[in-house]
Amino acid sequence: MEWTVSMATAAIPGLSSGGAGRDSPAKEKLFGRAPPLPLLLLRARNLRSVRARSRAVLFAVLSLLLLLLLSRHLSPFVAWKNPHASSASVPSRGGYAVLINTWKRNSLLKQVVSHYASCSRAEAIHVVWSEIDPPSDGLKSHLEKLVSSKSHGVHKPSFRFELCEEDNLNNRFKPIEDLKNDAVFSVDDDVIVPCSTLDFAFTVWQSASDTMVGFVPRTHWLVKKDGLAYYTYGGWWSVWWMGTYSMVLSKAAFFHRKYLDLYTHKMPSSIHDYVTRERNCEDIAMSLLIANASGAPPVWVKGNLYEIGSSGISSMKGHNERRNKCLNDFISLYETMPLVSTSMKAVDTRQEWFW
């Protein structure tokens, strides 16, 4: 092949005399079958250019499809402008009480108490203790020292155990005597929310204090099949895919202290009995209670949340089926569906450039 190309190239000078070099049939045949080397290189460059452009077009199309898919889920969510951002040096009115639900995990309890004591807006820390044996003097002393050492400035949050007579999930929502703060941050003993994120959520709650404001959204939807209608409980991936939610879990959420009294004294006793029997779904019960009382959807706050414990009941087999049953059983007791779906998400615009 190299030789053939070389011969064809050598014949090119003969063209300057009017084509005399092409009078041989053999040369004519050879000239027609093998283009000159510069022409071959030009074709190769053109081919590479076409392929590069094709790849660029394909990449642009795929990128556009990805953006469209993301916008399908991001577009319903809107930013939440911090109403106090213009006066960052002046704190918002009041503070909040942290209500920690714990059960036989003292090492985790020490970590979360230490963390929330360091949050400047936390004015009180209450630990719901449902174990048969009361907390030891050593544990009490250790936690009190943590609160004192971790808190900032002159003001130090108060600390107290809320002792319960029985092991019952309803305990986490019992009214607290002498509670001074309207805002209650309910949190599990293995969940840590950074103080800055928690303070932002508190400002969001201040502008929507009748509803629930939290970090763990969940959803529901109606299913009709074979002439029957029932509701399905949806976890995080359902929220992401559908772009809506109707609950925020009490494992990390703000609500008004009045709901502790409503939960304990006004909510149907059949729901208390259900939670006691099933040892599950007290968070769904609280979401239904607040939605029923307020007629408003919850508010999901975008922010980091760290779970420092091992997997809990949510990772157990059949968890979603039990949650589905809870939701439908509770709704039948309410005789209505109080949950309100929404696509709003609160985002601190000082911290996010894309939301």
The residues annotated with a catalytic role in the active site are 283
Helix (H, G, I), strand (E, B) or coil at 124: strand
Tokens of 220: 């529901």
User: Is 303:215 a contact under the CB 8 Å cutoff?
Assistant: yes
User: Is 222:322 a contact under the CB 8 Å cutoff?
Assistant: no
Measured distance CA(117)–CA(109) in Å, rounded: 12
Distance in Å from the first CA to the final CA of the chain: 61
Residues 6+ apart with CB under 8 A from 249: 214, 216, 217, 218, 283, 287
Query: Hey, what amino acid is at 44?
Result: A
Query: Hey, what amino acid is at 22?
Result: R
CA angle, corner 83, sides to 77 and 89, nearest 5?
130
Give the largest CA-CA distance in the chain: 114
User: Is 201:261 a contact under the CB 8 Å cutoff?
Assistant: no
